[in-house]
Amino acid sequence: MKATVITYGCQMNEYDTHLVESQLVSLGLDLVDTIDAADFVLVNTCAVRGKPVDKVRSLLGDLRRQKHERGLVVGMMGCLAQLEEGQQIARKFEVDVLLGPGSLLDIGAALESNQRFWGLQFKDELHEHIPPAPQGKLQAHLTIMRGCDHHCTYCIVPTTRGPQVSRTPASILKELDGLLAAGVQEVTLLGQNVNAYGFDQGAKIAGIPSFADLLRGVGRSGIRRIKFTTSHPMNFTEDVAIAMSETPAVCEFVHLPVQSGSNRVLRRMAREYTREKYLSHIADIKKHLPGVVLATDIIVGFPGETEEDFQHTLDLYDEVGYDSAYMFIYSARPGTPSYQHFTDLPREIKTERLQRLIVKQKEWSQKKNASKVGSIQEVLLRGNAHAEGFLEGHSRGNHPVVVPKALGADTAGVYPVRIGHATPHMLYGAVLGSNGEALPELPRLTPEAAAVSSPLSMV
């Protein structure tokens, strides 16, 4: 039997996909890259916003047709599968296997019965399960916790992934050892709220360090680069910034979602911090990490957001000076308090505000990226870019980078790169030779090719 997994959503979903793929391989299935070559297609879903749900509906419609035409077995996993909305979708599109985020290790039982498997219970063994290391990759994700104890009014995650459960340091470091043995050079620590690691349901867990101490411990493992996502400002502490500054392997990149610059909107979101508190965290980060690269998340058009509220967000963007941002129009999700109790804004208002924020973001991203021209960046090159003759990767600051293939840099690896050109969403450069000078390079990437070479655009 041949299988493929289609993944939507966040890095946690990507990690879960790898976990399930390892289970499928252990069951004797062969992994293939396309739906047409597969006997079993498993769709890993996201329920945070409406757009990914629409994509799942469309895909499942096509898979149902193939199910009747050639006997395809169809499965659905992830956050959407945990919700009544997802179960209704599964019934409508005749899904055979249904797995919630807490039941990923039950994939074998589900396939063995070849019937709908409504395995939606969270199981403790999942939290300590160690998947095999990905082979042939220089970067990998490592989940340090699952679930979330916060209850933001727009967020479905506490419902779909349950309360926070921190993995033990021993389990994390054991998985990290496997990644190191497989040649991984950059690891991203994953959690819905990594800052709260070790404080499950608000209580300190015996034997589990703080997130700052975990960073220090991971830094002593020998891994070359460490990143983490995502952070909740409510639980961010100055000790995290200090640990980053004291741990050379930790990259100078912080993703700290603000969601809104208005205290009134933050209260309606139940974010549990104020604009002033958030800015104090930014001040701590900049104090201990000069030159830090800052990214954020912003929701535009939250119910009740006024033009004055939105202006507070624009002002905060200028005050912080973000390098990049993930920006979204508010999407009302069934089952969340904001969906039940708040009235959505007209889409044209949300769209117009988003366009203004995008202009702001591009201005800052261009300014920040232009400041890197002439600098030497340590770049992890993952492999071929879309444009022939070029490699793509990212810096320690998470900047997408494209370089021409050259002597000594025609394959994936970590290289010093001198930046020669910048756009709002991409840095372009050339790999340095041993004498510190740029190696001979191929003709410069054209604007047309550049337009399709940036899968990491932050807008």
Do 221 and 315 belong together in one domain? yes
Q: Is 251 marked as a binding-site residue?
A: no
Q: Is 155 marked as a binding-site residue?
A: yes
Do 333 and 285 belong together in one domain? yes
Better pLDDT: 442 or 24: 24
Across residues 414-443, what is the average pLDDT? 79
Lowest mean pLDDT: which of 64-78, 99-113, 123-137, 178-192?
A: 123-137
Return the residue matching tokens 């970590």.
414
Judge whether residue 207 has pLDDT over 50. yes
Return the residue matching tokens 């208005």.
262
Pairing label, strands 2-7, 186-190: unpaired
Judge whether residue 457 has pLDDT over 60. no
pLDDT digits (tens, 9 = 90+) for 308-349: 999 999 999 999 999 999 999 999 999 999 999 999 999 999
Within a domain: residue 320? yes
Do 353 and 232 belong together in one domain? yes
Do 244 and 392 belong together in one domain? no
Cα end-to-end span (Å), the chain = 39
Q: Which residues span the domain enclosing 38?
A: 2-124
- Residue 439's pLDDT band, with cuts at 50, 70 and 90, is low
CATH value at residue 433: 2.40.50
Within a domain: residue 371? no
Identify the domain boundary among 333, 366, 399.
366
Residue-averaged pLDDT of the chain: 90
Q: Is 10 marked as a binding-site residue?
A: yes
Do 135 and 273 belong together in one domain? yes
What pLDDT was estimated at residue 102? 82
Cβ atoms of residues 12 and 51 within 8 Å: no
Judge whether residue 458 has pLDDT over 60. no
Do 109 and 143 belong together in one domain? no
Identify the domain boundary among 93, 124, 155.
124
Task: Write the CB contacts of 238 (distance below 8 Å, at least 6 apart in sequence).
Answer: 284, 288
Q: Nearest 5 degrees, angle CA 175-CA 177-CA 181?
A: 120
What pLDDT was estimated at residue 119? 43
Do 120 and 173 belong together in one domain? no
Which of 45, 43, 32, 28 has the alpha carbon at shortest distance from 3?
32
Do 282 and 154 belong together in one domain? yes
Judge whether residue 79 has pLDDT over 50. yes
**The total number of residues written for the chain in this structure:** 459
Lowest mean pLDDT: which of 42-51, 89-98, 319-328, 445-454?
A: 445-454
- Residue 436's pLDDT band, with cuts at 50, 70 and 90, is low
Judge whether residue 449 has pLDDT over 60. no
What pLDDT was estimated at residue 445? 46
- Residue 124's pLDDT band, with cuts at 50, 70 and 90, is low
What pLDDT was estimated at residue 291? 93
In the chain, the largest separation of any two C-alpha atoms, in whole Å, equals 63
CATH value at residue 214: 3.80.30.20
Do 236 and 304 belong together in one domain? yes
Considering the entire predicted model, what is its pTM? 0.89
Q: Looking at the 3D structure of the chain, how many domains does it have?
A: 3
Across residues 4-30, what is the average pLDDT? 93
Identify the domain boundary among 366, 399, 431.
366
Within a domain: residue 142? yes
CATH value at residue 97: 3.40.50.12160
Within a domain: residue 456? no
Within a domain: residue 458? no
Do 11 and 141 belong together in one domain? no
156 φ/ψ angles, rounded to the nearest 5 degrees: -95, -5
Do 153 and 288 belong together in one domain? yes
Residue type present at position 343: T
Lowest mean pLDDT: which of 81-90, 208-217, 383-392, 434-443?
A: 434-443
Rounded Cα–Cα distance for residues 259 and 231 (Å) = 12
Cβ atoms of residues 128 and 174 within 8 Å: no
- Residue 446's pLDDT band, with cuts at 50, 70 and 90, is very low
Do 92 and 159 belong together in one domain? no
Residue type present at position 313: T
